[in-house]
Amino acid sequence: MKKRCFLNVWLFFASVYLVSLLLYLPILVSGQGISTPLNKVLMAAVTFVPSVMGVLFVRLTKSPEEVRDFWRRAFRWPRGRTKMAILGILILPLITITSYLISSSVEGTGLSLAYAARLFTDWKALLVYLFVELTFGALSEELGWRGYALDELQSRWSALRSSLVLGFIWAFWHTPAFLTPGLGQYEMGGIVSSTYVFFILSVALGSVLITWVYNNTSRSILVAGFLMHFAQNASMILLGGIFDGFTMPSSYWAVMLIETAMAAALVVIFFGSKTLTRRFISPRGTSSLQLAR
């Protein structure tokens, strides 16, 4: 096992931001959003930057045994952790759906499931939707955020502090999307809006829930990274639509923030801020590994 260098994770974050910015600049300068073929390709490339950088840093900084463990945790179901894994996969969609129902009820806008109805009556559109959300929303990011960065932060800091630091870095990475016409974030009100603030805080606090699941499923990238990320994005798009057709009740993000904050607070209260787990499980299924200090 190679000795961890805490500087590496900050080089990872800097690399992700720098490469993402270089890819975003032509899109932003063009003023055409994702309406052109070139900008669509650049936008697709942006989404893969965290995972590509994560794989690169794992390859450069980890031992062969750790690299094998990385890929195992990315694509194998965590044995003996099925109940926790299922709870983790469901918790963010549950928050999304209840936030939508509450905000719709408060505003009296009623429920609109037009996009969901369209998908479930057109199997080709459904397959494309599932492929896009899993590939460009989860696989493209999580080999970096949870796959590489989270363990590095927890090697030095508590699980709560690591979660919040990673959460804010992850959230702010989405900022250019709020400036890009044609993307759902742009349709939410852009960067100069209360929605942007609610989004940043919700993502950061949601990171606490993801770390909780990660630390209680033998550090499963598959569950806490890919499937949790996919489940939340998929449920949100089923309710609100996609790209320039995305719309949510105006109070949705405020309600989402409150619910996420409550869930994160309960996790911290009942599991403790140091590891967010009663017994930290190592890759080999023992409780001897302590990443948080």
Measured between its terminal Cα atoms, the distance across the chain in Å is 18
pLDDT of 292 > 60? The answer is no
Residue 130 resides in a domain: yes
* Per-residue pLDDT reduced to its tens digit, 236-281: 888 887 766 778 888 999 999 999 999 999 999 999 999 999 654 4
Question: Cβ atoms within 10 A of the Cβ of 236, count?
Answer: 24
How many domains are contained in the chain? 1
Residue 194 resides in a domain: yes
Spatial neighbors of 262 by CB under 8 A, at least 6 apart, are none
Residue 278 resides in a domain: no
* Per-residue pLDDT reduced to its tens digit, 96-115: 999 999 999 998 877 777 77
Q: What percent of the chain has pLDDT over 70?
A: 93
The per-residue pLDDT for 201 is 97
Residue 282 resides in a domain: no
Burial 115-133 (b: 16+ CB within 10 A, else e): bbeebeeeeeeeeebeeeb
- What gap in Å lies between CA 9 and CA 220, rounded to an integer? 19
The per-residue pLDDT for 27 is 96
- Mean model confidence pLDDT for the chain: 90
Higher-pLDDT residue of 135, 187: 135
Instruction: Please say whether the beta carbons of 256 and 108 come within 8 A.
Output: no
Residue 279 resides in a domain: no
The per-residue pLDDT for 118 is 80
Average pLDDT of the residues in 32-58: 96
Average pLDDT of the residues in 40-59: 97
- What gap in Å lies between CA 40 and CA 56, rounded to an integer? 24
Residue 174 resides in a domain: yes
Residue 249 resides in a domain: yes
Spatial neighbors of 77 by CB under 8 A, at least 6 apart, are 85, 220, 222, 223
Q: Read out DSSP for 170-202?
A: HHHHTGGGGGSTTSHHHHTT-SSSHHHHHHHHH
Q: Domain range holding 68?
A: 7-271
Residue 276 resides in a domain: no
pLDDT of 284 > 50? The answer is no
Instruction: Please say whether the beta carbons of 142 and 221 come within 8 A.
Output: yes
Q: What percent of the chain has pLDDT over 90?
A: 70
The per-residue pLDDT for 126 is 84
The per-residue pLDDT for 243 is 67
Instruction: Please say whether the beta carbons of 235 and 96 come within 8 A.
Output: yes
